[in-house]
Structure 1
Amino acid sequence: MPSNLVVRVKASSPEIQEGLAAIAAELDLPAGFPAEVTAAAERAADEVVLPELDRTDLPFLTIDPEGSMDLDQALHLERGRPGDKDSGYVVHYAIADVAAFVRPGDPVDVEANRRGETLYGAGTRIPLHPPVLSEDAASLLPDQVRPALLWTIRLDATGAQVDVRVERARVRSTARWSYVEAQRALDDGTAGPGTEVLELLREIGRLREQQEVARGGISLPLPEQEVDETDGGFQLVFREQLPVELWNAQISLLTGMAAASLMAGARVGMLRTLPPADPRDVARLRRVAKGLRISWPQDMDYPAFVRSLDPEVSQHQAMVVACTRLLRGSGYAAFDGELPEQSRHSAIAAEYAHVTAPLRRLGDRYAGEICLAICAGTPVPDWVSAALPGLPKVLQDSASRAGSYERAVLDLIEAAVLADRVGKEFDGVVTSVRDDELTTGVVVLAEVGVEAPVTSEQPLPLGEDVTVTLATADLATRKVAFTLP
């Protein structure tokens, strides 16, 4: 799937602009922040009170996509005892303290509850909070003292969690890295601010990946389909994640699992859940693997099978896409008393909570406050307790809206990429076939970064290389379709 070939779509194209406007209207997306919300955010930025605990002595760094301004997380890593490599590690993870700026029931809070999360489209963002907060006063930008929720997580020499606490503190990031810059520094051995932390991130990240394997967790090696903004246009590409992104994600997963352990122990909180895979779906996947001529021994469990796949192989690409079927059904479970019946996230193979992106996700602010109260030995704030029962639905609705928006934008860009190429042939790979209609499925075209429906008069050859013909590419309907002769 990964390809270095991209197709640009000019941002000035009236058809693209009309399409984006139509999507926003269809989904009833907010166009901007009301004046009273912006004014309240500006006051909050001016009046913020920093925590008494001062941890600006820790040289934090951030690692994010190029150009990001809404920086939720800053990282500092160290060994448990200087010079003793067997003593374990200390993870300091600073998370933007949105509650230091947003008061319960104020205009910013009401608007954030209406939006639910930040939406990402083709060169545009519809933020959860006004930019004066999300991209400035609350963001963990370099060389700025900021209020934060400081997580301190101790690990043993194998990377397993030993202890966790979270508290409010003032922090300062001293270095800002993009993923590409961080990976290059690690690959080249480049010296610079925070490079010793990057080296520890690689070390700890690999240990956490081993921990994931040991507990039966799953990380599907799916390339990302993304829209990159360029000078005067867009690029649609399939992109493999860099190793440093995966290691950075392991720190976020670690923190989410630590938060879940705190809340589960205190019997109050909100978890991100995913039910176990339906045995019928697993059986179906075994049939798909057999059809793709991929070995899946009966004594090999599903997580081990996923780890055996090589996304560089066409048949394995199709298998990875098919495996996403087992990751459906994720949700949120709020509780105050007994744990919910379904409390685990089956792909992570542990209890897990969202706490590391409060600038971009509404629920993280509430979950962070619960963890603060647990560690401080104080009651959960009333405004959190009052909102807890209704939060899962608010978050599920916003996640559904975000998914619809992202799919619609990609559909639009794909149609624009191919609009003048109807009737042309493309090389691709059939990545899925409908169970009830073997002549209908999905084809991926690495050359142009497009994933679209394909039909044939004969059963589609799942996982095989094919040459398909573009039958439809309509910007108005955002429909792209191929046929296999």
Structure 2
Amino acid sequence: MTTRRSGPPKPKRPAVARRKAAAKTTGDFPSRDDILAFVAENPGKAGKREIARHFGITGAGRIQLKKMLKDLAGEGLVAKRQKRLIRPGDLPPVFVVALVARDEDGELLGEPEDWDPESGPTPKVLILTTKGKGPQPGLGDRALIRLTDAETGFEAQYAARIIKVLEKSHGAILGIFRLREGNKWPYLEPIDRKSREMDVDPADLKGARDGDLVSVTVTKSGRYGAPRAEIIERFGAPGSEKAISEIALHSHGIRHEFPREVIAEAEAAQPVTLGKREDWRKIPLVTIDPPDAKDHDDAVFAEPDEDPANEGGQVVYVAIADVAHYIRPGSALDREAHLRGNSVYFPDRVIPMLPERISNDLCSLREKEDRPAMAVRMVFDKTGRKTGHTFHRVLMRSAAKLSYLQAQKAIDGVLDDKTETLVDGVLKPIWAAYAVLKLGRDAREPLELDLPERKIALKEDGSVDHVYVPERLDAHKLIEEFMIQANVAAAETLEKKKTALLYRIHDASTPEKLEHLKEFLSTINMKLPSTGGLRPSVFNGILAKVKDGPQSQLINEVILRSQAQAEYNPQNIGHFGLNLRRYAHFTSPIRRYADLIVHRGLVAAHGLGDDGLPEGIEAKLEAIGAEISAAERKAMLAERDTIDRLIALWMAEQIGATFKGRIAGVVKSGMFIRLNDTGADGFVPASTIGLDYYRYDEGSHSLIGDKSGETYQLGDIVDVKLVEAAPFAGALRFEVLTPGRKGSGGSGGAQRRGRASPERTPGRSGSRSGPKGGTTPGPKRPGTSGGGKSGSKPSRAARKARASTRENSGNES
């Protein structure tokens, strides 16, 4: 291994040891600096107990320590992560990186895949490798790493060793093939805006025509000119959803072809007979799903509790596809599911975690067909409080396959041939149970964000027909709450049985994010409590005040951005958004690997078979949690990118049209506009707003005219004209038509926290800040070296915030 230069000075452990010894000798309590130094030297490992042990704090000193740590957290100097303290912006001990560059010594540098831009610039991690031993990574790979105390050099802030190389880069670059006039070489417009345009070898074009989507491999680096490449594969005209989703699969490195041995294992699987399972085939369980669902992994039923001691109580049955029976630990199917982490959903297709033989056939709870399931029977009292539950490995038979709308219509009195036989004996009892469970949910007060997600309806040729927001029915809420309660039961059981599991955790907001939220709320005469721990009910109180008002959606989005993201971890800190002390994903093992682990835990805990958790899994759960959390983020971004590109492609035919929208983000270089009708996002560069010079005020999330004082603030309703669309970047550029609000800004009306640079125009290079403080490459005009990649694309942080709407709003079933 290369010997590293010494990096920036770091506190050394002996110094802390000396301070510790001095504190013990003199009886002095450690100072704030001593505590902060210890936390800095032990990121992710320093909790209150560890600090007390290290500095010899006992008795009444622990009370003083608790107060000091609370003060430090309140000042934003430390943050809590899974009962451990870190400095804001520090990395966890284990996480996933993308290997993005090499330093001057040729050593690999990685960037964390899941980095919040509000924490500052993305840190670089030096990857320590030993030749001939362990996994050998390469540029472009993804890897799971563990931080070390080794020296970092000058270009990285952290050093780490690789636990596992997750995905190898094949070096392929995706882009649009372009012809030039005359005898000049054709060229490629890379889809990735960070990549350079490159010449394409005309020797073998694979039949590519101008405008086709192709993948290439670089054959010449291009140090003294444009890089050169040769075509690997032609995908054809990129106007359909399939081509657009292909871009997302490629750019995010999502596995979408199953290896031969995985398919072979899936095809060899056989249906399950009753055997030692409980026979639940007479219980009228029903599946309630979207109308186009191809796999059905949950079925439900409910009935009044006949126990006289539980008058008004309800019994709820939730049966989940028994994926653990088919996916054995260590098998080819298991390894592939682990690598994928989850299924990925595009408007017209699914990239499944498991082959269709498993996901759409043997494990899908098909109507009137016997299927194996892991089931939970839960008892609730009349207030909606769960009083007990039991798990069972069963053979079931779905009584009916219903859509959400079909079930809802039946309850509302509109029956069809299928529901008229089910409404009294099955559907009405399920709705009666939901009425009771809703009492418990209301008493629990989870975070109740209201942010409907847009959906895309496609034409037969795969192009966009229209964009819509589906109605949220009681049928949706019912299934969601049943699944949440089943997930809680799974976590409680495994914890009680002392069985290893991955919790679904959601941390409270960081002090920095809460401070940003307070600043914004103050600009609209609303307040967030300045002292005491926040609970979801505090945010709900704010949301209730603006419900049905013009600022309702804005406040929902701003509160969403203030929330942490949920993740998988064997260390439990609870789920803030759902306001639950323990929570684990159990209800979707067809599409989430975390749920499969929980199923195996239940099998092991109850002695229900030989396909439970394997030996030694406890030591691996931290790494598995980091891997599948990163896979989840990747899937969210791929899904969001596909929707952005499809809408941009659809709107490219509407250049010059005007739309009504709302300012959804304000940054130094301009503002993001979200259109009312479609939810499409676009960018207005500050340098294109009138003749004034607009500067950014961070506290009020505004752009203020230097001379006129005209103000554009987050949430304002504006009319805009579409001037440019870059479909393959998922980017739209607007011109704002509505004058800014007259205010008292002027040349000195707001603090100069940032300027909108005139140089950051759509035709010039540069970068712009995203809504959460991140940066994305500046847009380019047609005819420049960008080859037509114009417009301005919402930052990764903005897409990430939108993609996480469902989990942060409590839709965690």
Q: Considering the TM-score relative to the shorter chain, is it more than 0.5?
A: yes
Query: How far does residue 362 in structure 1 lie from its aligned partner after superposition?
Result: 0.8
- Contact 2:586 2:598 (C-alpha < 8 Å) held by counterparts: yes
Aligned residue among 556, 567, 575 for 1:331: 567
Q: Whole-Å Cα distance in 2 between the matches of residues 413 and 84 of structure 1? A: 57
Q: 1:83 and 1:454 mapped to 2: Cα distance?
A: 65
| 3-state SS of 1:452 partner | strand
Structure 1 residue 406, shift from structure 2 partner: 0.8
TM-superposition CA deviations, 1:350-380 (whole Å, max 9, x none): 1211100000101101112213433459996
1:229 to 1:90, Cα distance in 2 relative to 1, 3 A: farther
Q: Determine helix, strand or coil for the equivalent of 1:105.
A: coil
TM-score, normalised with respect to structure 1: 0.87
State the alpha-carbon separation in 2 of the partners of residues 403 and 356 from structure 1: 19
The one-letter amino acid of 2:446's match is: G
Distance in 1 (CA, whole Å) between partners of 2:272 and 2:411 is: 40
**Identical counterparts, % of pairs:** 24
Amino acid at match of 1:370: G
CA deviation vs aligned residue, 1:291-338 (integer Å, no higher than 9, x gap): 34668799982233234442x43311111111111332321111xxxx
In structure 1, the partner of 2:638 is 405
Cα deviation 1:70-127 (Å, max 9, x = unaligned): 1110001111029999331111100000011122222211211111111011311100
Partner of 1:261: 492
1:344 paired with 2:344, answer no
Question: Helix, strand or coil for the counterpart of 2:399?
Answer: strand
Say whether residues 1:302 and 2:526 are aligned partners.
no
Secondary structure of 2:269's counterpart equals helix
CA contact (8 A) 2:408 2:473 kept: yes
Residue 238 of structure 1, CA deviation: 2.6
Match of 2:374 among 149, 162, 183: 149
Q: Distance in 2 between matches of 1:158 and 1:452?
A: 47
Task: Go from structure 1 to structure 2 and tell me whether the alpha carbon gap of 1:59 and 1:49 turns closer, same or farther (over 3 Å shift).
Answer: closer
SS in 2 for 1:39: helix
CA contact (8 A) 1:151 1:164 kept: yes
Asked if structure 1 preserves the Cα contact closer than 8 Å seen for 2:451 and 2:556, the reply is yes
- Mapping of residues 263-278 of structure 1, within 5 Å: 263-267=494-498, 268-278=500-510
Residues 1:134 and 2:134 are matched in the alignment: no
**1:349-364 matched pairs, under 5 angstroms:** 349-350=579-580, 351-364=582-595
- 1:218-255 Cα offsets, whole Å, 9 max, x none, are 13111012223443343322334222101210111111
The letter for the 2-side match of 1:366 is: I
Structure 2 residue 453 is matched with structure 1 residue 217: no
What letter corresponds to residue 568 of structure 2 in structure 1? Answer: Y
Matches within 5 A, 1:312-331: 312-331=548-567
- C-alpha contact (below 8 Å) 2:375/2:394 kept by paired residues: yes
Q: Give the Cα–Cα distance (whole angstroms) in 2 for the partners of residues 215 and 241 of structure 1.
A: 21
Aligned partner (choices 690, 715, 728) of residue 476 of structure 1: 728
Contact preservation (8 Å) 2:262, 2:333: yes
Asked if 1 retains the 8 angstrom alpha-carbon contact of 2:681 and 2:732, the reply is no
Which residue is 1:6 aligned to?
none
Q: Is the 8 A contact 1:48 1:101 kept in 2?
A: no
Deviates more, 1:79-88 or 1:444-453: 79-88
Distance 1:172 1:46, change over 3 A: closer
What root-mean-square deviation, in Å, do the aligned CA atoms of Structure 1 and Structure 2 show?
2.8
- Counterpart of 1:204 in structure 2 is 433
Corresponding position: 1:423 with 2:656 = yes
Query: 1:116 & 1:33 partners in 2: Cα distance?
Result: 14
**What residue in structure 2 maps to residue 195 of structure 1?**
423
Q: Contact between 2:380 and 2:437, CA under 8 Å: does it hold in 1?
A: no
Moved more, 291-300 or 109-118: 291-300
CA contact (8 A) 2:725 2:733 kept: yes
Aligned residues of 1:421 and 1:470 also touching (Cα < 8 A): yes
Q: Trace 1:444-455 onto structure 2 (pairs within 5 A).
A: 444-455=674-685
Q: Which amino acid letter does the alignment assign opposite residue 661 of structure 2? A: G
Q: CA 1:82–1:174 in 2, change beyond 3 Å: closer, same or farther? A: farther
Question: 1:250 — aligned with what?
Answer: 481
Deviates more, 1:64-73 or 1:458-467: 458-467
Q: Which residue of structure 2 lines up, in the alignment, with residue 57 of structure 1?
A: 282
Partner of 2:718: 466
Taking the aligned partners of 2:671 and 2:440, their CA distance within structure 1 comes to 36
- SS of the aligned residue for 2:469 comes to strand
Offset at residue 206 of structure 1 (A)? 3.8
Is 2:625 the counterpart of 1:392?
A: yes
Query: In 2 relative to 1, CA 167–393 (structure 1 residues): closer, same or farther, beyond 3 Å?
Result: same
In structure 2, the CA distance between the partners of 1:14 and 1:333, relative to structure 1 (3 Å rule), is closer
Moved more, 101-110 or 13-22: 13-22
Match of 1:337 in 2: none
Query: Where in structure 2 are there 5+ consecutive unaligned residues?
Result: 1-235, 532-536, 695-702, 704-711, 738-813
Q: Quote the Cα distance in structure 2 between the aligned partners of 1:73 and 1:399.
A: 21
In structure 2, relative to structure 1, the CA distance for the partners of 1:251 and 1:139 (3 Å cut) is same
Letter in 1 for 2:364: S
Residue 50 of structure 1 contacts residue 146 of structure 1 at CA under 8 Å; is this kept in 2?
Answer: no
Alpha-carbon distance, 1:46 to partner = 4.9
Give the superposition deviation at 1:383: 5.2
Greater displacement, 367-376 / 218-227: 367-376
Aligned residue for 1:329, secondary structure, equals: coil
Does residue 118 (structure 1) correspond to residue 343 (structure 2)? The answer is yes
Range that drifts further, 210-219 or 33-42: 210-219
- 2:384 corresponds to: 159
Q: Residue in 2 aligned with 1:15?
A: 239
Where relative contact order (Cα < 8 A, 6+ residues apart) is larger, the structure is 1
Output the CA distance in 1 between the equivalents of 2:672 and 2:430: 37
For residues 554 and 676 of structure 2, the distance between their equivalents in structure 1, rounded to whole angstroms, comes to: 13
Kept in 1: contact 2:454–2:467 (CA 8 A): yes
- Checking the alignment, whether the CA contact within 8 Å between 1:314 and 1:429 is kept in structure 2 is no
Look up the match of 2:523. Answer: 291
SS in 2 for 1:368: helix
Structure with larger Rg: 2
Q: How many Å apart are 1:58 and its aligned residue?
A: 0.2
**2:297 equivalent in structure 1:** 72
Higher helix share: 1
Distance in 1, matches of 2:309 and 2:399, equals 26
Contact 1:236 1:413 in 2 (8 A): no
Which piece of structure 1 moves more, 140-149 or 273-282?
273-282
